[in-house]
Amino acid sequence: MSLKIDEKILREVDELAVSTEKLSRDAASSKNSLGPERVEELASLTSRVGQIIHHLYGDNSQYRQNLTKVLSTINFHSMHSHYFMHISEFAGIVKGIQHDIKVGLLNDFRMLLQAEIFADFLEMAEYLLGEGYKDAAAVILGSVMEDSLKKLAVSRGLKTTSSNGKPLTIDPLNIELAKDNAYSPLIQKQITTWANLRNDAAHGNYSEYDKDQVKQMLLFVQKFCLDYLQ
């Protein structure tokens, strides 16, 4: 399974890879420093690459660190045959991103990141449940379950919005995933059960369920995330 990367991003990364490689080669073969137009091109490319890294990896990633290091090169905008290695390194960063996308590493990274985020919320729900706040825990668990279904749907190329553009909720997502054989009919029924409990919690019907049921919901969502988001 892999997440579907937006085609616009794919095109942008491919274009950046071509442009940065050409700039690197031109710099390596130029006896004189490349002129203002190429400096403007470099400035544009660095901004675009920075945006791509921010969007795909975040600001604490290895790619961000590598880009920051390259940008700190003395006389970064100077490019000629005796001073071009920093431009080649810059082009290499883009090629690395392109490679990640082509072999699916970026997909795995984003799935792992999402799983880590879910774990935080699950820990929060577990803490609230332990402190006696079953209703708040149920709402959080419902949100984690809905988000996990959306991520699973995206990974399988399924729609996550309705015809009017509104995000699909748990029940329609559950139906679509079951049709796609993402999981068994038993899992589908269990998701429906916990979706109903989440709705009761969200609408203030607190007497319709008890703490033990929320605990069972917690165990289910924990296992679901482990089974389908890693």
Tell me if the pTM is above 0.85: no
Mean pLDDT of the chain: 89
Closest CA to 40 of 66, 79, 92: 79
Query: Is residue 117 over pLDDT 60?
Result: no
Closest CA to 176 of 157, 190, 194, 197: 157
DSSP assignment letter at 184: -
Q: How confident is the model at residue 230 (pLDDT cuts 50, 70, 90)?
A: low
Q: What is the pLDDT of residue 49?
A: 95
Q: What are residue 167's DSSP bridge partners?
A: 161
Distance separating the N- and C-terminal Cα atoms of the chain: 10
Q: How confident is the model at residue 27 (pLDDT cuts 50, 70, 90)?
A: very high
84-88 average pLDDT score: 96
Are 145 and 221 a contacting pair, CB within 8 Å? yes
| pLDDT tens column, 120-150 | 788 889 888 988 999 999 999 999 999 999 9
- Percent of residues, the chain, with pLDDT higher than 70: 91
Residue labelled with tokens 């959306």: 150
34-40 average pLDDT score: 95
